[in-house]
């Protein structure tokens, strides 16, 4: 009886060095794409945070004007478009006592308007709500500036005027130029990095 010939065993084939390098290259490209996606998401999140801060700041002043509507014109005079609040000069006057602290004493409407403007000046800078010492900064919109302007003056027989409260800040990337207000115009290097939120109130 003939003994069958041995069959050759199949060779066990492994990965070659070239295959491993190609695989690593593909993984690296995928990880780079994922990193770019994460970075883009972080930028979008930061922009959304900045906008939310600006909306909060604008609403703060809007409520102050509605509360002290008889002196609404004083707010526009304190924060005009050509010299917006946010540099901290009025806030410094408030912390040093040059401006009356209406949170600690009862103020007449005209003095209250001055206090509100100074307080808002500090909030635009990122100061904490408790401003004792004047050095605390809690963050906020980047390089925020605030303006109050009359967009529709009172015309007889109506005594009501429309005021626009705007907060401008510096964005990190270029977008379209805002047209609702010139608040902060020329402060951020290029107009495509200037962001604004505006709200109108009729008082």
pLDDT digits (tens, 9 = 90+) for 98-112: 999 999 999 999 999
Per-residue model confidence as pLDDT tens digits over 57-70? 999 999 999 999 99
What separation in angstroms does the CA of 38 have from each of 52, 142, 156, 193? 21, 22, 56, 22
Q: What is the pTM of this model?
A: 0.79
Domain limits of the chain?
42-202
15-37: average pLDDT: 86
pLDDT at res. 133: 46
- Helices 17-67 and 109-125 pack at an angle, to 10 degrees, of 170
Strand-pair category, 194-202 with 162-170:
antiparallel
């Amino acid at each position: 009886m003939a003994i069958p010939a041995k069959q050759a065993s199949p060779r066990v084939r492994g990965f070659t060095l070239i295959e491993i390098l190609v695989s690593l290259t593909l993984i690296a490209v995928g990880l780079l794409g994922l990193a770019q996606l994460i970075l883009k998401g972080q930028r979008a999140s930061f922009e959304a945070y900045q906008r939310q801060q600006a909306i909060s700041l604008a609403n703060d002043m809007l409520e102050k004007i509605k509360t002290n509507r008889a002196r609404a014109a004083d707010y526009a005079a304190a924060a005009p478009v050509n010299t917006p609040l946010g540099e901290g000069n009025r806030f410094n006057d408030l912390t040093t006592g040059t401006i009356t602290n209406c949170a600690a004493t009862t103020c007449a409407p005209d003095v209250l308007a001055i206090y509100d403007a100074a307080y808002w000046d500090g909030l635009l800078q990122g100061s904490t709500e408790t401003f004792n010492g004047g050095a605390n900064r809690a963050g906020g919109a980047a390089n925020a500036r605030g303006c109050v302007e009359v967009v529709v003056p009172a015309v007889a027989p109506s005594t009501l005027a429309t005021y626009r409260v705007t907060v401008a800040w510096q964005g990190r990337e270029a977008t379209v130029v805002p047209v609702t207000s010139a608040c902060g115009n020329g402060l951020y290097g290029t107009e495509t990095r200037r962001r604004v939120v505006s709200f109108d109130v009729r008082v």
